[in-house]
Amino acid sequence: MRRPSVTLPLQAYRAGLRIGEPALTGLLAWRAQRGKEDPRRLPERRGLPGRARPVGPLAWMHGASVGEALSLIGLVEGMIARGFSVLVTTGTRAAAELVGVRLPPGAVHQYMPLDAPRWVGRFLNHWQPDLAVIAESEIWPNTILALDEREIPLILVNGRMSERSFRGWERCPRTAKALLARIAICLTQTQEDGERFAKLGAPRVSIAGNLKFDASVPPADAQQLAYLGAMVAGRPVWVAASTHSGEEAMVAYAHAMLKAQFPQLLTIIAPRHPARGGEAVACANAVGLRSAQRSAGGRPHPSTEVYVADTIGELGLFYRLSPLVFLGGSLVPRGGQNPIEPLRLESAVLHGPHTENFGVIYHALDRAGGAMPVRDGVELAAVAAELLGDRERLADMARAGQRALEPFEGAVARTLAVLPRPCWPRSTARCTTAPRRPPSSRWSGCGTSARPWSRRSCPMPGRAASSRPATRRA
């Protein structure tokens, strides 16, 4: 199938970012000053490598932020078991800090370069991946075009596309098709996601499910767990996790309403962005609650009513301390947060009405009794009062939530079944200038003489190509 030509908007975008490199450099410096970029690793954001390329076949996997990156861990482990080294890139500092300590041997981390053509080219010429795997909805035009020019197969995994994004892409259908037609296969989370990608021009779409359902539980430092567990022993505890602006005030108000019934109550607030810890403290102070801030060395002493956990990578610790978790981004219109981790750690889940990002799973959880919706801070306080006073009901909710997750599992295995295996002796010589033209025998299951795992010849190992978009289950 002949790929669509690069449209004028894409050509303008490419030229604009080529000319705009100095402005992008200034943007990175500005972000570094505000703590949003790691100053020591800024060159990586310009495509300059921070380490040598591993010898042998290399799979590149990209997850922009914390959730996307962590969802790739199962695939990383699977590809290492097949003989690949794996390069994992992220776009945020928080994701880099978390993923850097969670990667298994055989995987390395770098920052994703910004989508300037020269920076992307520099990145690809150094790393020369044999396969690119992008998570969820990261559609960077210059990166897609550069991969296509180098004949590096690109697979979108855990793909999702909201109705809002779909309507936006529908306004430029030729450009959408020019990009999506260059993706070897889209493995999406749901049927609805798959249909949207197919309508926009993705030539091959399969439904693999959500990788996050197979993610391992977040770790917790054993010493900190024992220390904090002893400190809060005997107190009713609940967690407001991944809260956004406006929600900390509602949670603090809910605690103030609960004080009379639960005078020893401890509310732990973990803001979605730890830099907002000071705002959470201010919200607690505004309603007369005594607070402590973890990033400032505070601890949940008996007199502490609100403990602000404004650190990175410790949600697993606080979920283990609480039988009840309210998940933020849902009382304000931010689409909700992932409920899987607290459920895996045996917590009951509360959420607001805005759960579009995880609509299917929240619907299943609510129906099964593993989660409960609340409309505002007043209802949050009322439902929390009922549950904190009934430990048996909390345990029943947590078990119901875990059972509701079972039908959604298996996405990692389904995705790995589609990803190829290396099947040739590699040369250690690497080209550092011109795009590479790899041998046609590169991928197992791809028995044609056309380019490896190409959109024209081998959409999936062991499956025939199709000349029209298809939406199927992997």
Q: How far apart are CA 299 and CA 29, in angstroms?
A: 34
Please give the share of the chain, as a percent, with pLDDT higher than 70. 89
Residue 215 has pLDDT above 90, yes or no: no
Q: What is the mean pLDDT of residues 144-157?
A: 97
Closest C-alpha among 99, 368, 464 to residue 86: 99
* Residue 1 CB contacts under 8 Å (≥ 6 apart), including other chains: 181, 203, 455, 456, 465, 467
φ, ψ of residue 293 to 5 degrees: the values are -115, 120
**Residue 433: predicted pLDDT:** 36
Q: Let me know if 68 is a catalytic residue.
A: yes
Q: Is 436's pLDDT higher than 70? A: no
Name the pLDDT band for 424 (thresholds 50, 70, 90): very low
Q: Choose the weakest-confidence range: 60-64, 258-262, 447-451.
A: 447-451
Element spanning 290, H or E:
none
**Model pLDDT, residue 162:** 87
DSSP annotation string for 406-470: GGG--HHHHHHHHS--B-SPPPS---SSSPP---TT-BTT--SSSSTT-TTT-SBTTB---SS-E
Confidence band for 474, pLDDT divided at 50, 70 and 90: low
> Does the pLDDT at position 138 exceed 60?
yes
For 214, 227, 403, the CA distances from 300, given in Å and listed in that order, are 32, 11, 33
Q: Which of 87-96, 210-219, 238-247 is predicted with the least confidence, judged by mean pLDDT?
A: 210-219
Per-residue tokens: 440: 């046609």
Q: What is the pLDDT of the chain when averaged over all its residues?
A: 89
Whether the pLDDT of residue 454 is over 50: the answer is: no
Mean pLDDT of 451-474: 40
Band (421; pLDDT cuts 50, 70, 90): confident
Q: Nearest CA to 159 among 226, 229, 106, 206?
A: 206
State the pLDDT at residue 391.
94
Pairing of strands 306-308, 291-293: parallel
pTM of the model: 0.81
Q: Which of 37, 44, 68, 136 is catalytic?
A: 68
pLDDT over 70 (residue 437): no
Among the ranges given (146-155, 211-220, 229-238, 361-370), the one the predictor scored with the smallest mean pLDDT: 211-220
What's residue 422's pLDDT? 78
What pLDDT is recorded for position 284? 98
pLDDT tens, position by position, 223-266: 999 999 999 999 999 999 999 999 999 999 999 999 999 999 99
pLDDT at 299: 97
Q: Is residue 104 over pLDDT 80?
A: yes
Task: Say whether pLDDT at 131 is over 70.
Answer: yes
pLDDT tens-digit readout, 7-52: 999 999 999 999 999 999 999 999 999 989 999 999 999 999 999 9
DSSP state, residue 389: T
Identify the pLDDT of residue 239.
98
* pLDDT-derived band at 460, boundaries 50, 70, 90: very low
